[in-house]
Amino acid sequence: MLIRTHTCGQLRESDVGKSVRLNGWVNSYRDHGNLIFIDLRDRYGLTQVVFDKESGLSAGAMDAADKLRNEDVIACEGMVRVRVGGENPKLATGKIEIVVDKLEVLAKTDNPPFLPDDLSKLPNEELRLTHRYIDLRRPSMQRILSTRHKVYQTTRRYFDENGFLEVETPILYKSTPEGAREFLVPNRHVPGSFYALPQSPQLFKQILMVAGCDRYMQICRCFRDEDPRADRQAEFTQIDLEMSFVRREQVMEAMEGFVRRLWKEIAGHDVPPMRRMSYREAMEDYGIDRPDTRYDLKTRDISAFAGKMDFAIFKNALEKGKDRPAFNSRKGVVKALRVPGGAEKLTRKITDGYTEFVKTFGAGGVAVVKVVKGEDGQPRLDTGIAKFLEPLKGEFLALLGCEVGDTVLFVADVYSVATKAIGELRQRVARDMGMVPRSGAEGGPWNFLWVVDFPMFERNKDTGKWVAMHHPFTSPNDDQMQAFLDANEEDEVTIEGIVSAGYDVVLNGQEIAGGSVRIHDRAVQSKVFKLLGMTPDQAKEKFSFLLEALAYGAPPHAGVAFGLDRLVMNFVGTDNIRDVIAFPKTQTGADLMTRAPSPVPEGQLRDVHIKSIAPPA
RNA sequence: GGGGCGGUAGCUCAAUUGGUUAGAGUACCGGACUGUCGAUCCGGUGGUUGCGGGUUCGAGUCCCGUCCGCCUCGCCA
């Protein structure tokens, strides 16, 4: 074989006169009969190679060149020369060409289902996934693989420099039925027993702290058997960390340092110090725990004002959970979103669609008010609820600081529903108004912020029981510790107000990392389990190994996990998580290339003591 | 589990209100061509309209079911 001396992205004018060998795929061919041009491709680039009958090329080689087609794999040898037909400015190697004197066809291809070409329209994602090896040949996919590689390398370098120890944790793990549904793996030795694939290495990394590792990191695969989304995959990758002898501030500092390093090295961007926002502020002003602050739209609780309106829909909403404390999920509220300049851009057709939109989040609908210029030159309210709003017009305009040209949208429901609906609506409106800037990868802003002070507990809306908002090992924040230990478990208002030492990193409205200070004190842990309705025996049954470990000298510790796939998505500017995973799965968990999952022979099932009850295919 | 969109030649798409032989570009095959660069020109092959039923004189088009993919709610940190 003619082993390559250079790659297809390497040769320049300074190489003219050299005899070289190239290997690669035929990216395109231009056949002029006695003169054939091939653009040869590898992951480094394209180089034009020329087959010229008059340049001493054997007839056999010319015939072989004549038969070359896209995606054939070849090796060739020839001389680098300045292009006879003039430069091609589109190529890095565009000033030179190789005039071939030896050709070796390494592999002929069947007619490929599609060409790995970034210029033409992409085929179905289904087809791309089925023939992933062709899709990945596309330069843009190669760039993504390369960016992902750089993220791995920068990550390892940063944490290594900062004293972190990389430790692998098991993939075959104990089922801990909290949180997401797990993938199960049957065990051959103990009939009827199963491993689970880890949702995250959470408990292992805490145990590593007890084990004295002090600082741990791992780039690890996590598994959650839940329905995927555009930015979610059942099998995904985390950058997982844990630190000993720290409180919240030290972890946040380490994380911010990592973010700064990563963005500097991957995107060439200097991340300024990140602002902090409380969970409550995020929910109040943005209706979501990962606010996108790239555009200036805020939601507002106007319950007090709405209560003065003689409007049945608002009144009925406000009646709900009337006696509950503020921010209680079941307390009725009216939320408003003032959209500057919305009166013109948000047409009737668009705002009509908002009602359908908020219904998907359980809200009843959206009330719309346009502030327009009246005949008297004063603001006039153009709205279906004029009858109820008109008497309070002055107060309304002043309350929201409305100006002519604004649109105000209202959602009334219990706190949890209204807040979510108006928060989602806010993002929808921002898109409709054209307020969402380009992505960071496309030169737009990188808007980082911390969200902190999450509640420790929230009520499950079906069972009414307390559940841990983050996970049951999350510590109350230091300033809340005594209040938590003193709190009466029956005292709903106090319990609801306890804030954890959790922290999330939010980038452009996306959660890219989250973590918390862990509980290392047994009294605190017991109280958490008790609140979650777990008896000591039940807690022991589920988490005995962790509780035992914590009993043998556990240092205070805290940690965090970054969603690596989402980091890469940001760097390459895609909103499709499958683009940043070499071999992703579909929405039903299928790998279209390998055709996993698949049935297995009966005997294999017997070995692991499994009998399928699925109807025969 | 629910809602929405889609599936027509290898690929990207078209096909009027349900109407005659389902078209185009590209790829592929054959031919021509010595300076192209998404080569060009001439000719050709290529279809279970995802699959199964139904309505109809007639179905790519309408109805029912089903499979697959995507988006999304629930779910998921």
- In 10 A of CB A359, how many CB atoms? 13
Ramachandran bin of A320, using left for φ above 0, alpha for ψ from -120 to 50, beta for the remaining angles: beta
Ramachandran bin of A591, using left for φ above 0, alpha for ψ from -120 to 50, beta for the remaining angles: beta
For residue A443, what are its two tokens? 């030169």
Instruction: Give the distance, in angstroms, between residue A126 CA and nucleotide B67 C1'.
Output: 14
In this complex, the answer to whether residue A91 has its CB under 7 A from any atom of chain B, a nucleic strand, is: yes
Query: Nearest nucleotide by C1' from A458 CA?
Result: B77
- In 10 A of CB A59, how many CB atoms? 8
Q: How distant, in Å, are the alpha carbons of A194, A410, A430, A437 from that of A338?
A: 53, 9, 11, 19
Report pLDDT digits (tens) over A111-122. Answer: 999 999 998 899
Amino acid A221: pLDDT: 97
Q: Which domains does chain A have, with CATH numbers?
A: 13-107 (2.40.50.140), 127-275+556-617 (3.30.930.10), 295-436 (3.30.1360.30)
Report pLDDT digits (tens) over A280-314. Answer: 999 999 999 999 999 999 999 999 999 999 999 99
Measure CA to C1' and name the residue nearest B75: A226
Tokens 């988490």, residue located: A543
Amino acid A493: pLDDT: 83
- Which residues from 311-350 of A have any strand B atom under 7 Å from their CB? none
ipTM of the complex: 0.93
Compute CA A65 distance to the chain's CA centroid, rounded to the nearest angstrom.
46
- In 10 A of CB A126, how many CB atoms? 9
Nearest by Cα to A345 from A436, A429, A437, A438: A429
Backbone angles phi, psi at A209, to 5 degrees: -70, -45
Amino acid A616: pLDDT: 63
Q: How distant, in Å, are the alpha carbons of A147, A487, A524 from that of A482?
A: 46, 8, 10
Three-class SS of A13-48: HHHCCCEEEEEEEEEEEEECCCEEEEEEEECCEEEE
Compute CA A13 distance to the chain's CA centroid, rounded to the nearest angstrom.
43
Measure CA to C1' and name the residue nearest B34: A35
Amino acid A56: pLDDT: 78
Q: Are residues A442 and A359 in contact, defined by beta-carbon separation less than 8 angstroms?
A: no
Q: How distant, in Å, are the alpha carbons of A318, A319, A449 from that of A330?
A: 10, 11, 28
Q: What is the DSSP string of A405-418?
A: T-EEEEEEEEHHHH
Q: Is the pTM of this model over 0.90?
A: yes
In this complex, the answer to whether residue A100 has its CB under 7 A from any atom of chain B, a nucleic strand, is: no
- Which residues from 184-223 of A have any strand B atom under 7 Å from their CB? 199-200
Compute the distance between CA of residue A73 and CA of residue A69 in angstroms, rounded to an integer: 9
With a cut of 50, which residues of chain A have pLDDT below it? none
Coil vs helix vs strand at A149? helix
Q: What is the DSSP string of A545-601?
A: HHHHHHHTTPPPEEEEEEEHHHHHHHHHT-S-GGGGSSS---TTS-BTTTTBS----
